[in-house]
A and B are shown apart, each in its own frame.
Chain A
Amino acid sequence: GENVEQHPSTLSVQEGDSAVIKCTYSDSASNYFPWYKQELGKGPQLIIDIRSNVGEKKDQRIAVTLNKTAKHFSLHITETQPEDSAVYFCAASYNNAGNMLTFGGGTRLMVKP
């Protein structure tokens, strides 16, 4: 089955700096890679996703890159703000009837004002 590894487990940055979180996956059949943000006491919320036919996707201050050959993908947050502080999860899945997501271990991002 799929295995997703995520690094770093914690990340502390100054407000305004950039943050990068990296994930690797094991199953070359995976074709969908979402990133979720989980705030304290809440459920994960999708912030951006990428499919295997695309190498990069951007949405305002966040971007995701995918390297299918190396089987890794990354989340980039620019101009970080205190409200970006949360736990971020990467995930991978392939299109099947169940759409099963395998999550990475999570990264706790702390943005210091």
Chain B
Amino acid sequence: DTAVSQTPKYLVTQMGNDKSIKCEQNLGHDTMYWYKQDSKKFLKIMFSYNNKELIINETVPNRFSPKSPDKAHLNLHINSLELGDSAVYFCASSQVQGMSYEQYFGPGTRLTVT
């Protein structure tokens, strides 16, 4: 009965390839996020979508393109992968309307670019 799920859990690919990570939440939340966690464990927001609309884009290269087909899904597509993209990517969701601040995180996708 997973609240926020991501696929795949591990992704190993070569430089220059294009890859996607999928995220789904079954909590009925109106806002979803992507975070990047680097090798030093530092967590940084990448994108935030509220009701399928982009709210935050934190200086992320335009090789990264989030897509929200509906409120329950927020996918991350990455073009022309670079070594520096290697990290763990976390999807999260929250219910912003109604002033509930808690963000629920998925299990993460470990991306390794070789």
Contact = CB atoms under 8 A, between A and B. Distances in A.
Interface in B39-61: 40-45, 48, 50, 55-56, 58
Interface stretch (B11-19, B70-78, B79-87, B102-110): B102-110
Contacts, number: 63
A93 B56 contact: no
A49 B94 CA distance: 14
A100 interface: yes
B56 A98 contact: yes
Nearest to B56: A98
Residue with the highest number of chain B CB atoms closer than 10 Å, among A43, A87, A89: A43
Interface of B: 4, 31, 40-45, 48, 50, 55-56, 58, 90, 92, 94, 96, 99, 101-108
Which 7 A-B pairs give the minimum distances between C-beta atoms?
A: A43-B105, A98-B55, A98-B48, A103-B43, A98-B56, A106-B41, A44-B105
